[in-house]
Amino acid sequence: MRSLRRAGLTVSFTCVFAAAATGGQTSAAIPPGAERAYQAVKDRVDGDAAMEVVRFMDRYWRIAGNPGFNASVDEIRDRLTHAGLAPRVEEFTSRGKGWDYEKGTVALADSGEVLLSKETDRVSLCINSFSTNGEIEAPLVDVGAGRPADYEGKDLKGTVVLGSAPAGSLWQQAVKQRGAAGVISTAIAAYIRPDDPSKFTFSDQQDVFQWGSVPYDETAKAFAFKASWRAAARMRERLKSGPVRVKVDVRSSFYDGPNRMVVAEIPGAVKPDERIVMVAHIQEPGANDDGSGCGTLLALAIALQRAIAEKGLPPPGRTLTFIWGDENRGSHAWLAAHPDQAKGVQYMFSMDMTGEDTAKTGGTFLIEKQADPSAVWPRPSDPHTAWGASEVKASELKGSLLNDLHLAVCLRRAKDTGWIVRTNPYEGGSDHTEFKNAGVPSLLNWHFTDRYYHTNLDRPDKTSPAEMVNVGVAVATSAYFLASAGEADALATALLIAEAGEARLALEAQQSATPAILDAWRAWYGEALESVRRLSVAGPSAAVDRAVADLKVK
């Protein structure tokens, strides 16, 4: 433990980085302004209100431009308006068509046994599937793994093709190249359902599948389904006895229209042109992905609004901006449509899959960090998730205070609730990527590894109001603090960053880091300390400048 004495202030912190990097938990002190924000919002984030949003959005397969997406936009707008915020709906040109379906059924032709249907499988029909214009009947052909050799000697024209390859691959091989009427794919991530049934460890693994899509093709006008292990096993069981014919009935719709997003703001009282941005995405059919992110963001926005209205907090110094939209595309469109506002964005928080019931999904809460050296050099203390990782170059790295500040705030919440908080290196793929590409320090709040990720079973029963409250309180605290910090907060943050940097270098020494890795972390934390100079809303401070100079990470 170290003490910092500057401008008559004494601030001390317990270093938390090393414990968190190895999955440990510890108590965390946070800067005084963050503590004040935490106390103001911790009882105002409404988990039940967040859950109401999850349940509403769960009613729809939400794709930009379709009725369910637009209904969700309107619901979020109306709830924000009722709470006293002044949201606006912004529109931009959609790159594709909205899509949804009323019916998607596959049944055995002889017995009428239903194998797949919207009523039981909810999202089994793949995005961009065309209507069959009434029920059709066709032979069922199994191509197994769907490798090129698996198609040899098979006449697939007018058939329905079953295979374990991804739906897009089956569609290209069977529909586009060989004239099949449609395909049924059983492809799924191994961490959700292993190929070997003897390794099933959860009762619902027989019935789970991941939803998918195929290309929009007005010429082929074909369809694709995703199937569970149970449904596929039933089809293959019948095929063992001889030829099988299936009846398929699809009624789907495509929609033209703008892509829409909801934007709400709490204006900054001192530097309104500087912003802290928080984003959740509306599209996808899941309750956790991303109904929970949308509900969490709404609940924390309302909590901050009420804390300010009820004099629990003063108005923020910088503007707080909340955005609900189409993942990545919405963030990209907002940045492009508001270049002056975009220039003033200081930090960004992405909210994706923030409400998981961890006992059911297996997904632990994670802070996916702003890209730091662990995103470039794999480290034992910083494993990537099963989702995978985007390539990050060392030349792209730019240190900031964001990772360690938000981690400390999350651990402050953990001290009160026992919440499990871990981190992972930057991987990308959600709205934080768009802001990262714009040069904004950004991170993701999420849960993984999730055995219901992108599946038919991502439903409200897998969502926890308490988890949404935890995430909501932490993000609201961090965002308000970054929007409102004063000199004392900057001094405290400088110490927090310096201690985190020292802990990181000690950890890397234990992990036998190369000189290049150690130099990268020194550079990262040098830049992170420099970023503290800009933290105070009041502007540069001689005391903060001296502290930053004194606390260089060696």
**Could you please report the per-residue DSSP string of 302-339?**
HHHHHHHHTTSSPPPSEEEEEEEESTTHHHHHHHHH-H
Q: Residue 95's pLDDT is what? A: 86
Residue 428 has pLDDT above 80, yes or no: yes
Q: Calculate the average pLDDT of the chain.
A: 94
Helices (H), 96-246: 118-121, 167-170, 229-239
SS3 per-residue string spanning 440-474: CCEEEEEEECCCCCCECCCCHHHECHHHHHHHHHH
Question: 329-385 pLDDT, tens per residue?
Answer: 999 999 999 999 999 999 999 999 999 999 999 999 999 999 999 999 999 999 999
Q: How far apart are CA 492 and CA 543, in angstroms?
A: 11
Percent of the chain having pLDDT more than 90?
A: 94
Residue 17 has pLDDT above 60, yes or no: no
Question: 41-84 pLDDT, tens per residue?
Answer: 999 999 999 999 999 999 999 999 999 999 999 999 999 999 99
Buried/exposed code over 36-73 (b: 16+ C-beta within 10 A; e: otherwise): bbbebbbebbbbebbbbbbebbbebbbbbbbbbbbbbb
Q: How far apart are CA 31 and CA 11, in angstroms?
A: 8
Residue 20 has pLDDT above 70, yes or no: no
Question: 155-182 pLDDT, tens per residue?
Answer: 999 999 999 999 999 999 999 999 999 9
* Phi, then psi, of 140 in degrees rounded to 5: -100, 125
Question: 444-480 pLDDT, tens per residue?
Answer: 999 999 999 999 999 999 999 999 999 999 999 999 9
Three-state secondary-structure class, residue 342: helix
In the structure, what pLDDT confidence band is assigned to residue 28 with cuts at 50, 70 and 90?
low
Q: How far apart are CA 259 and CA 93, in angstroms?
A: 6
Query: If you search the block for the tokens 């899959």, which residue do you land on?
Result: 353
* Residues 532, 482 contacting (CB under 8 angstroms): no
**CA 529, 530, 536, 540 torsion-angle sign:** positive
In the structure, what pLDDT confidence band is assigned to residue 5 with cuts at 50, 70 and 90?
very low
Indicate the burial class of 391 (C-beta count within 10 angstroms; 0-12, 13-18, 19 or more): exposed
* Phi, then psi, of 435 in degrees rounded to 5: -75, -35
The token pair that represents 526 in the structure block:
């040098």
In the structure, what pLDDT confidence band is assigned to residue 531 with cuts at 50, 70 and 90?
very high
Q: Residue 29's pLDDT is what? A: 86
* Residues 46, 303 contacting (CB under 8 angstroms): yes
Higher pLDDT, 155 or 26: 155
Q: How far apart are CA 125 and CA 540, in angstroms?
A: 56
Question: 285-317 pLDDT, tens per residue?
Answer: 999 999 999 999 999 999 999 999 999 999 999
The token pair that represents 20 in the structure block:
């968190």
Residue 2 has pLDDT above 50, yes or no: no
Domains located in the chain, CATH noted: 98-255 (3.50.30.30)
* Phi, then psi, of 523 in degrees rounded to 5: -65, -40
Q: Residue 408's pLDDT is what? A: 98
Helices (H), 58-112: 67-82
Q: Residue 187's pLDDT is what? A: 97
Question: 187-208 pLDDT, tens per residue?
Answer: 999 999 998 999 999 999 999 9
Three-state secondary-structure class, residue 98: strand
Q: Residue 59's pLDDT is what? A: 98
Residue 11 has pLDDT above 50, yes or no: no
Nearest of 152, 227, 238 to residue 183 by alpha carbon: 227
The token pair that represents 379 in the structure block:
């480290």
In the structure, what pLDDT confidence band is assigned to residue 274 with cuts at 50, 70 and 90?
very high
Residue 14 has pLDDT above 80, yes or no: no
Residue 554 has pLDDT above 60, yes or no: yes
Q: Residue 12's pLDDT is what? A: 35
The DSSP 8-state label assigned to residue 204 in this structure reads G
State the CB neighbour count (10 A cutoff) for residue 100.
Answer: 19
Question: 30-50 pLDDT, tens per residue?
Answer: 999 999 999 999 999 999 999
Bridge partners of residue 88, in order along the sequence: 263
Question: 219-267 pLDDT, tens per residue?
Answer: 999 999 999 999 999 999 999 999 999 999 999 999 999 999 999 999 9
In the structure, what pLDDT confidence band is assigned to residue 552 with cuts at 50, 70 and 90?
confident
Q: Residue 245's pLDDT is what? A: 98
**Residues near 267 by Cβ (< 8 Å), separated by ≥ 6?**
315, 319
Q: How far apart are CA 122 and CA 293, in angstroms?
A: 21
| Helix pair 32-41, 291-309: axis angle to 10 deg | 100
Three-state secondary-structure class, residue 549: helix
Question: 399-420 pLDDT, tens per residue?
Answer: 999 999 999 999 999 999 999 9
**Residues near 85 by Cβ (< 8 Å), separated by ≥ 6?**
264, 266, 301, 302, 305
